[in-house]
């Protein structure tokens, strides 16, 4: 990675990474800690931008930090990546972005307006996670640190943590529900008697949720770097996004990630934020942009995003260790 100040991609309280380093040194695991902390990992969604985060998770896994977390929150692509991270498949998940998802079988805007979804979740669940790079579905629900999936209820567009996943089929359906992009991936997904869409519609990053759940330390992985954030975090949704939300509830909000991520990042950087309390928060973002969007299927750009995410997380860990 070119020489870049950690301040450009490592935000918030470095104590969070310090606790992870200490836990690795102590070889502790969930349920058997010598410290009083509860450390949550929050993984942002973002479609193919999730390649950045997948690279970061690969770096955290390589550093031996999977057992250092007590719980993982994920929505949309972050849910799938979190599942792979907890089941030991972080490297395969990172590789799947350029190798298996950069195809028009998965994303094809020419399908808009037809009966076929623009974003084919069937390809991800069955072809990629079922055959090409199999996910250990049977382990979900019994990993030492639990995976908490966030989805948006279509009834009122509020975010909820999905519950009751007991079988591999349940987990498949819940992950679909958390990643169902309004309009683009087909109709909302039914689970537990409700209809759900992408968790990022209502809650791009589940930091406040993790704090309310008892986390003392939260590490957030961002799929947007400083160059990809809107300069005015208080700008709110644009007129076109609000109009799109009226036509397809949630789609306009989802499309305005650059504005909403900036507002969420304030919870990390502002120690006096009213939703923060005594918690410690840190966030790692990509150190530079690969020049890609949420629906990008260019394997070169997507592969670059994976490498940038990996390098950014590794550099953040090194900066704190130093």
Burial 74-92 (b: 16+ CB within 10 A, else e): bbbbbbbbbbbbbbebbbb
Burial 307-320 (b: 16+ CB within 10 A, else e): bbbbbbbbbbbeeb
In the residue annotation, 198 being an active-site residue is answered as yes
Q: CA-based angle 161:11:83, to the nearest 5? A: 35
In the residue annotation, 234 being an active-site residue is answered as no
Which residue among the candidates 61, 70, 100, 198 is catalytic per the annotation? 198
Burial degree of 30 (CB within 10 A; 0-12, 13-18, 19+):
middle
Which residue among the candidates 76, 81, 185, 253 is catalytic per the annotation? 76
What's the length of the chain?
322
147 bridge partner residues = 72
Contacts 24+ apart (CB under 8 A), 33-39: 33/70, 36/216, 37/70, 37/216, 37/217, 38/70, 38/71, 38/214, 38/215, 38/216, 38/217, 39/68, 39/69, 39/70, 39/215, 39/216, 39/217, 39/218, 39/219
Catalytic positions are 76, 198
């Amino acid at each position: 990675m070119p020489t870049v100040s950690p301040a450009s991609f490592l935000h918030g309280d470095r104590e969070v990474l310090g606790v992870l380093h200490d836990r690795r040194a102590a070889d502790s695991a969930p349920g058997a800690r010598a410290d009083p902390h509860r450390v949550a990992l929050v993984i942002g969604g973002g479609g193919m931008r999730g390649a950045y985060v997948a690279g970061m998770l690969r770096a955290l896994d390589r550093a031996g930090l999977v057992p250092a977390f007590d719980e993982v929150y994920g929505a949309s692509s972050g849910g799938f990546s979190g599942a792979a991270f907890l089941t030991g498949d972080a490297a395969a998940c990172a590789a799947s972005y350029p190798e298996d998802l950069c195809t028009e079988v998965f994303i094809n805007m020419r399908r808009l307006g037809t009966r076929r979804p623009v974003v084919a979740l069937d390809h991800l669940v069955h072809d990629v996670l079922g055959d090409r790079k199999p996910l250990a579905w049977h382990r979900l629900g019994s990993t030492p640190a639990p995976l908490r999936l966030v989805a948006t209820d279509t009834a009122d567009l509020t975010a909820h943590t999905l519950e009751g996943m007991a079988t591999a089929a349940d987990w498949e359906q819940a992950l679909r529900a958390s990643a169902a992009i309004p309009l683009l991936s087909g109709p909302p997904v039914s689970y537990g008697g409700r209809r759900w869409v992408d968790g990022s519609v209502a809650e791009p990053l589940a930091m406040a949720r993790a704090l309310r759940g008892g986390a003392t330390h939260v590490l957030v992985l961002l799929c947007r770097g400083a160059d990809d954030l809107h300069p005015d975090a208080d700008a709110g949704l644009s007129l076109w996004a609000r109009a799109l939300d009226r036509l397809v509830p949630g789609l306009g909000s989802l499309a305005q990630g650059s504005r909403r991520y900036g507002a969420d990042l304030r919870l990390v950087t502002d120690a006096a934020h009213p939703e923060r309390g005594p918690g410690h928060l840190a966030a790692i973002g990509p150190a530079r942009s690969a020049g890609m969007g949420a629906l990008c299927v260019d394997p070169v750009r997507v592969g670059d995003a994976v490498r940038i995410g990996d390098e950014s997380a590794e550099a953040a860990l090194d900066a704190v260790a130093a």
